[in-house]
Amino acid sequence: MARLDPHSYFDDAQPRTSAWNLRLRANFDLKVLSGEATLIFGGPSVGVFDLDTKGLSVRCVRASGTDIPFELGPEEPILGRRLRLTLPPATTSVTIVYETSPSAAGLQWLSPEQTAGKRLPFLFSQCQAIHARSVLPCQDSAAARVTYEAEVDVPQGLTAVMSAGAMGDAPAAAGRRKFRFRMPQPIPSYLFALAVGELEGRDLSPRSRVWAEPVVVDAAATEFDGVEAMVLAAEALFGPYDWERFDLLVLPPSFPYGGMENPRMIFLTPTLLAGDRSLVDVIAHELAHSWTGNLVTNATAEHFWLNEGFTIWAERRILSALHGDAAAALSWESGRADLEEALARFQDTPALTCLRTRLDGIDPDDAFSAVPYEKGARFVVALERAVGTKSFAEFVKAYMKRFRFQSITTEIFCGFVEAEFPGLLAKVDAPAWLERPGLPAAAPKFASSKLEELSALASGWKDGKRPDAALAGRWSPAELLVYLRRIPRALSREDCARLDGALSLNDRGNYEVLTQWLSIAAASGYEPAFPRIKTLLASVGRMKYVRSLYQALGRTPAGRRLARETFAAAAPAYHALTRRAAESAMAAYPREMAE
Ligand code: BES
Ligand code: ZN
């Protein structure tokens, strides 16, 4: 038995697929993708071959033109169903004819009303961590890589885009349009991505285009016009950009993440459109994954910190290069607050605060937190500070060269560090970072004069210090955010009114600032902000915001009432992941006395 991934039926000892050939048809009436997936083997193969599926209906399986038997195992709550095939001798490919379920976790089908333009329906995928198996039968482990070709058949008037190279149209039936794609670089299944909707593109540079619904696309093109400068800064730090195009797709508001690093086309929440380019750090993050994550990939979710910790570190290196160390210090500070929240949330499951996790029987979506991100990035900085910026930069380049297009474990990473810098792991006490919960006491700190000023002001809150409107008016959104995160949580009604009045918080276009303020207001039971909370929760599906607002509303009876009422109305439009996040926040509410 050679299963190395607790979240996949993928077995290293079995035949390996090297490529997929997909023909998919989007049926918006049934909310179903149907068609065939041809899985191509690296060479002639034979014997038992297991695939991951979740919610898929398999019609038939063919090898060399003839039907072969298939066996779908029992439904496991996290893994889904194993699809077991027995390959006849010298099989070079198998074709699986199948369709997805309307409730596939990796897909969201939106009605026209749920889009920005409100005219046409929309479909998008989100496969990380283990939802690709609800979209197609595959070896759904980051340890396995494939190239692919795809043909996507959609209703006329809609445009299909993928995290792959566009290869033009193929002939289609009346009233339909067929798009062709090719992904020549080998990717893990979680980076497979598709979106279909009313989409338009605007070029940002010779290698970048932003795609969005027509009513959003111009605002998106302005917000993200600095993208080429970012790619150049990243190339200077990490070496040439290897994926040819760097396109951006702005999704409808229900997209559950801030961004997703789908190769060649990152997927983004429309909440990044602040109007003042103040949230483009998310672009830096997804861009950085082109090196840390997409080139060098965590082999399984137990090594997720290799993807995200390195990427947070890389994102802030890009930020420093473009805007200076003081700007990056603000990000490190916001990240510190995120990390503290996560450590508190996992108090009863401290094993999840190790970087190297053991996730047998644990859903990676439930293990998700700021820990692999912020603790992981601090571990990277600990290594960097111990050897110096210059040698670490060389190390990172060598690391990416050595493991490009491979999927690696923490242990492989440590082996490489030890070979490059003997004694370094012991020097930074790597086991404390990797194998022990919490944040090591010697964790790197980040300072700037602005940070000191903001935290002094915030910690003076309890002694009556309040921000002055003129002074706070000169703060950047990132500075304001640091201040808001530092002031005490439940505030009096007067203080809420004063904060909002002095800083016009309800009207902010920067969603980080807006949701930070609304979660203070929610935790304080400040009812004048309730209508804004309600409209936000009814219109935005980014999990991070939805979760923290539902959590904050739990602090007062009036908040809990608002939460329940809002959830009842908004839940049908939420992405499955977002719905689950809101439900679990509400499940932690205290029981109401008089209900
Ligand atoms: N790869 C993640 C998003 C993700 C992680 C999706 C795990 C599914 C499972 C992406 O790169 C990410 O980290 N997004 C952040 C951006 C932030 C850290 C700048 C987000 O969405 O908030
Ligand atoms: Zn990331």
Tens digits of residue pLDDT in 167-219: 999 999 999 999 999 999 999 999 999 999 999 999 999 999 999 999 999 99
pLDDT at 66 over 90: yes
**CA of residue 497 to ligand 2 center, whole Å:** 36
What is the DSSP-derived secondary structure letter of residue 154?
Answer: E
Three-state DSSP state, 592:
coil
| Residue 188 in domain | no
| Residue reference for tokens 């997805």 | 100
Whether 272 and 296 share a structural domain:
no
Whether the CB of 129 sits within 6 Å of ligand 1: yes
Domain check: are 333 and 431 in the same one?
yes
d(CA 13, CA 20): 20
Cβ atoms of residues 360 and 8 within 8 Å: no
> Could you give the CA distance from residue 579 to residue 402 in angstroms, rounded to a whole number?
41
Whether 259 is in the pocket of ligand 1, judged by its Cβ within 6 Å, is yes
| Whether residue 316 is found in the same domain as residue 421 | yes
Tell me if 374 CB under 6 Å of ligand 1: no
Ligand 1, atom 22: closest residue by C-alpha: 258
Q: Tell me the three-class secondary structure of 91-127, residue by residue.
A: EEEEEEEEECCCCCCCEEEECHHHCCCCCCCEEEECC
Convert 540-587 into a string of H (helix), E (strand) and C (coil).
Answer: CCCHHHHHHHHHHHCCCHHHHHHHHHHHHHHHHHCCHHHHHHHHHHHH
Q: How far apart are CA 337 and CA 352, in angstroms?
A: 18
Ligand 1, atom nearest to 258 Cα: 21
Q: Does residue 285 line the site of ligand 1, with CB under 6 A?
A: yes
5, part of any domain:
no
**Res 2: pLDDT:** 61
Dihedral angle computed from the Cα positions of residues 351, 354, 360 and 362, in that order, rounded to the nearest 10 degrees: 70
Verify whether ligand 1 is closer than 6 Å to residue 544 (CB atom).
Answer: yes
Residue 97 confidence (pLDDT): 98
In a domain? residue 7: no
The answer to whether position 432 is within a domain reads yes
pLDDT at residue 258, rounded to an integer: 98
DSSP state of 74: P
pLDDT digits (tens, 9 = 90+) for 558-577: 999 999 999 999 999 999 99
Residue closest to 320 by CA, chosen among 172, 448, 186:
448
Ligand in closest contact with the CA of 269: 1
pLDDT digits (tens, 9 = 90+) for 370-395: 999 999 999 999 999 999 999 999 99
Residue given tokens 């396995």 in the structure block:
144
Do the domain assignments include residue 519? yes
Q: Do residues 562 and 578 share a domain?
A: yes
Which CATH number goes with the domain that contains 510? Answer: 1.25.40.320
Catalytic one of 286, 333, 374, 384: 286
Instruction: Specify the residue with its C-alpha closest to ligand 1, atom 5.
Output: 128
Task: Give the per-residue pLDDT at 3.
Answer: 77
Q: pTM here?
A: 0.98
Mean pLDDT of the residues in the chain: 97
CA of 297 to the centre of ligand 1 (A): 14
The number of the ligand 1 atom at minimal distance from the alpha carbon of 282 is: 19
CA-proximal residue: ligand 1, atom 10 (nearest): 260
Residues of the domain holding 296: 292-447
595 pLDDT exceeds 90?
no
Domain membership of residue 4 (yes or no) is no
Q: What is the pLDDT of residues 323-373, one digit of tens each?
A: 999 999 999 999 999 999 999 999 999 999 999 999 999 999 999 999 999
Is the same domain home to 30 and 177?
A: yes
Same domain flag for 504 and 563: yes
Q: Which ligand is nearest to the CA of 365?
A: 1
Q: Are residues 222 and 297 located together in one domain of the fold? A: no
Encode pLDDT of 273-289 as tens digits. 999 999 999 999 999 99
The tens digit of pLDDT for each residue in 469-502 reads 999 999 999 999 999 999 998 999 999 999 999 9
pLDDT given for residue 591 in this prediction: 86
Written as six digits, the tokens of 453 are 């000023």
Question: Does residue 260 line the site of ligand 1, with CB under 6 A?
Answer: yes
- Boundary of a domain, candidates 136, 157, 183: 183
Give the residue carrying structure tokens 């000169």: 474
How far, in Å, is the centroid of ligand 1 from the Cα of 144? Answer: 21
Domain of residue 329, CATH code = 1.10.390.10
For ligand 1, atom 11, name the residue with the nearest CA: 260
Rounded CA separation 526/562 (Å): 12
DSSP 8-state symbol, 76: B
Give the max Cα distance, the chain.
Answer: 79
Closest CA to ligand 1's atom 20 = 258
Both tokens of residue 531? 């209508």
Number of structural domains found in the chain = 4
Same domain, 330 and 424: yes
303: nearest Cα among 355, 377, 339, 362: 355
Q: Region 63-73: what's the mean pLDDT?
A: 96
Asked whether residue 522 falls in the same domain as residue 565, the answer is yes
Residues 156 and 206 placed together within one structural domain of the fold: no
What are the helix (H) ranges across 102-249? 214-223, 227-238
Active site residue: 98, 257, 373, 574, which one? 373
- Listed as own residue / partner, the contacts of 528-531 with beta carbons closer than 8 Å and 24 or more positions apart are 528/496, 528/497, 528/500, 529/496, 529/500, 530/558, 530/562
Residue 593 clears pLDDT 90, i.e. is over it = no
For the Cβ of 91 lying below 6 angstroms from any atom of ligand 1, the answer is: no
CATH number at 264 reads: 3.30.2010.30
pLDDT score recorded for residue 198: 98
**Mutate-to-test residue for ligand 1 from 128, 260, 546, highest number of ligand atoms within 8 A of CB:** 260
End-to-end, the C-alpha distance of the chain in Å comes to 53
Q: 509 alpha carbon to ligand 2 midpoint, in Å?
A: 23
**238 pLDDT exceeds 70?**
yes
Q: 432: CA distance to ligand 1 center in Å?
A: 25
User: Which of 426, 447, 468 is at the close of a domain?
Assistant: 447
State the CATH number of the domain containing residue 171.
Answer: 2.60.40.1730
The token pair at 463 is 């002694």
- The angle, 0 to 180 degrees and rounded to 10, between the axes of the packed helices 304-323 and 281-288 is 130
pLDDT tens-digit readout, 503-512: 999 999 999 9
373 counts as catalytic: yes
Q: What 3-state DSSP class applies to 396? A: helix
Q: What is the mean predicted confidence (pLDDT) over 32-61?
A: 98
Q: Are residues 165 and 258 in the same domain?
A: no
As a whole number of angstroms, the distance between CA 525 and CA 537 comes to: 16
Listed in sequence order, the residues at least 6 apart from 410 whose beta carbon sits closer than 8 Å to its beta carbon are 302, 303, 305, 306, 355, 356, 434
Cα of 194 from ligand 2 centre, angstroms: 18
State the pLDDT at residue 592. Answer: 78
| Band of pLDDT at residue 519, cut at 50, 70 and 90 | very high
Q: Is the CB of 36 under 6 A from ligand 1?
A: no
* Of 92, 183, 95, 196, nearest in space to 137 by CA: 95
What is the Cα–Cα distance from 387 to 392, expressed in whole angstroms?
6
Tell me the CA distances in angstroms from 66 to 137, 346, 434, one per residue in order. 19, 52, 49
Q: Say how many Å lie between the CA of residue 502 and the centre of ligand 2.
A: 34
Q: Print burial letters for 64-76: b (CB count within 10 Å at least 16), e (below 16).
A: eeeeeebebeeee
Boundary-marking domain end, from 394, 426, 447: 447
Closest ligand 1 atom to the C-alpha of 315?
Answer: 19
| Gap from CA of 311 to ligand 2 centroid (Å) | 6
Cα 303 to Cα 6, 127, 434, 449: the distances in Å are 12, 17, 10, 35
Residue ranges in 438-492 assigned as alpha helix (H): 449-459, 469-473, 477-486
- Identify the burial level of 445 via C-beta atoms within 10 angstroms of its C-beta, where 0-12 means exposed, 13-18 middle and 19 or more buried: exposed
Q: Which of 128, 130, 254, 257 to mutate to test the pocket of ligand 1 (most atoms within 8 A of CB)?
A: 257
If DSSP codes are grouped into helix, strand and coil, which group holds residue 263?
coil
Residue nearest atom 21 in ligand 1 by C-alpha distance: 258
Asked whether residue 385 is assigned to any structural domain, the reply reads yes
The Cα–Cα gap between 160 and 166 comes to 9
Predicted pLDDT of residue 121: 98
Is 284 close to ligand 1, i.e. is its CB under 6 Å away?
A: no
247 strand-pairing partners: 265
Residues 319 and 332 in one domain: yes
Q: Classify residue 10: in a domain, yes or no.
A: no
Which residue's structure tokens are 């001798």? 89
Residue 42 CA to ligand 1 centre (angstroms): 31
What digits encode the pLDDT tens for the residues 422-463?
999 999 999 999 999 999 999 999 999 999 999 999 999 999
Q: Is 308 in the pocket of ligand 1 (CB under 6 A)?
A: yes
235 is catalytic: no
Angle between helical axes of 477-486 and 449-459 (0-180°, round to 10): 40
Instruction: Name the residue with the closest Cα to ligand 1, atom 19.
Output: 282
Do residues 410 and 308 lie in contact, with contact meaning Cβ atoms separated by under 8 Å? Answer: no
pLDDT tens figures, 113-172: 999 999 999 999 999 999 999 999 999 999 999 999 999 999 999 999 999 999 999 999
